[in-house]
Amino acid sequence: MIQVIKIGGNILNDQGALGEFLEIFSANSHDKILIHGGGKEATSLAGELNIETKMIDGRRITDEPMLKVVTMVYGGLINKNLVAKLQALGCNAIGMSGADMNIIPAHKRNHPDIDFGYVGDFKLEDINSDGLLALINMGITPVICALTHDGKGSLLNTNADTMAAGIASALGKVSDSELHLCFEKRGVLEDAEDDSSVIPEMSKIQFDKLKAEGAIHSGMIPKLDNGFQALSEGVKKVIVRHALYPGGTVLINE
Amino acid sequence: MIQVIKIGGNILNDQGALGEFLEIFSANSHDKILIHGGGKEATSLAGELNIETKMIDGRRITDEPMLKVVTMVYGGLINKNLVAKLQALGCNAIGMSGADMNIIPAHKRNHPDIDFGYVGDFKLEDINSDGLLALINMGITPVICALTHDGKGSLLNTNADTMAAGIASALGKVSDSELHLCFEKRGVLEDAEDDSSVIPEMSKIQFDKLKAEGAIHSGMIPKLDNGFQALSEGVKKVIVRHALYPGGTVLINE
């Protein structure tokens, strides 16, 4: 069984918490893959370079200067530091983007109204799960940043939750896989103001109902959409949880 | 036989020449590894971020802000773009630093007088040549940037010529290897003002003599030191040449 674990900005930007997470991750004896973004750090570097950050619906508009920024931050700064820290903990990590070993070939997003720039979408069947499996079977832990490529020489910025869901789904076709979408809360909350109100299980029907009622925080919707998509593709377990704590919200297909 | 090919700033900063080089590299049917630095681009980004670049004897003083810069530029910007371009040419590349798969564990340089900061030196016997061979035997082409790590969680800035020589030497113990140190000239020149005065072969004795006479350009000395070192370690062929043209200066152990 392969665990695909995605971490976000809350943990990447807190060195103490990150260290704690990496210890837990290294000690985890399952085969595993770590997926990360780094949006906050990218926004911060873009600011230092006087490059404006434009977001639409939580997605980063990625023009050429911004592609350069995310390539440096996701592929370089965050990815290589995660790898060095994991190696120090005895976890034989290899840092990758979707271009490396052609793990995730993608295409530039074609949106009728919005030019997202160098933003990539991929097809599940294009993911090189054999390549990932080969590395895992060598005892190596892939650490994958939120970049794909267009097969024509250009990198593309791709949402890390979507990549994690895609990788878990593709691996689920050739092995058993789990998807852990980690974020700053301990799970999906019944009451956004009450951190202890974690919903232990959420079905697709329940999610659709809460979504229709507007009772789910808008930032959670794409994450849960990705999670339920992975579940429907055959991922054995999908859980939305905090990177440091057990528990969380298990998604169930009903 | 594995070719270890190192490219430098002259080709990395010229998109046309880089494209030409990558076509030649992709079409090269030998097992191969590409090694790159990116000092000029790092100096340029450091300037944009108001970080001062300090060099001593051609070596970059790497304090914490500069380590961040080289990690972003070498490990992210240059490495991931080289990989995306190679994938577009059908070369199944994987981008790496010396931390990935623990390829090159190193230690912070201990210099009696100068604090080079996060600069790494490594021992030949510590290079993970088995890991590199395993990737090569999977049909994968490693693309390695000039970063190593200290095994305690920190990346280290390491000279790309030295890394290339080390990797060729380590691979030379388990396979046949060649080292190609590419730079902006067509080889070592007899007359620095005359680009056609390439010395076709240079022995260690000849090099030592020219060095003692001050007849070798100071910038060439560390490169040739690295080349002769690799030759003495058993690398089958060491050549100093232009990335785009055949010929060059073959180093011979006499």
Residues 6+ apart with CB under 8 A from A168: A2, A4, A177, A178, A179, A230, A235, A238
Interface of B with A (CB under 8 A): 45, 48-49, 68, 71-77, 79-81, 83-85, 87-88, 92-97, 99-102, 134, 138, 140, 147, 149-155
Cβ–Cβ under 8 Å, residues A73 and A116 = no
Host H or E run for residue A242 = strand A237-242
Q: How far apart are CA A7 and CA A35, in angstroms?
A: 6
DSSP E strand boundaries for chain B: 2-7, 31-36, 55-56, 59-60, 93-96, 107-108, 120-121, 141-145, 147-149, 155-157, 177-183, 201-203, 237-242, 249-252
Residue range A163-174, pLDDT digits in tens: 999 999 999 999
Q: How far apart are CA B36 and CA B182, in angstroms?
A: 10
Token couple for A65: 């200067």
Tell me the C-alpha to C-alpha distance, in Å, between residue B62 and each of B112, B119, B162: 16, 6, 17
pLDDT for B254 equals: 77
Task: Check CB contact under 8 Å for B147 and A49.
Answer: no
Q: How far apart are CA A163 and CA B249, in angstroms?
A: 47
Token couple for A172: 């689920």
Interface of A with B (CB under 8 A): 45, 48-49, 68, 71-77, 79-81, 83-85, 87-88, 92-97, 99-102, 105, 134, 138, 140, 147, 149-155
Task: Check CB contact under 8 Å for A80 and B99.
Answer: yes
Task: Check CB contact under 8 Å for B76 and A81.
Answer: no
pLDDT for A253 equals: 86
Token couple for A142: 């892939």
Q: How far apart are CA B22 and CA A179, in angstroms?
A: 37
Residue range B17-72, pLDDT digits in tens: 999 999 999 999 999 999 999 999 999 999 999 999 999 877 899 999 999 999 99
Residue range B172-186, pLDDT digits in tens: 999 999 999 999 999
Kindly give the parts of chain B with pLDDT less than 70.
none
Q: How far apart are CA B248 and CA B246, in angstroms?
A: 7
pLDDT digit of tens for each residue in chain A (254 aa)?
Answer: 999 999 998 899 999 999 999 999 999 999 999 999 999 999 999 999 999 999 987 789 999 999 999 999 999 999 999 999 999 999 999 999 999 999 999 999 988 899 999 999 999 999 999 999 999 999 999 999 999 999 999 999 999 999 999 999 999 999 999 999 999 999 999 888 899 999 999 999 999 999 999 888 888 999 999 999 999 999 999 999 999 998 999 999 87
Nearest-CA distance B189 → chain A (Å): 35
Q: Which residue has the tokens 């799960």?
A: A129
Residues of A in contact with B94 (CB under 8 A): 94, 96, 100-101
SS3 state of residue A60: strand
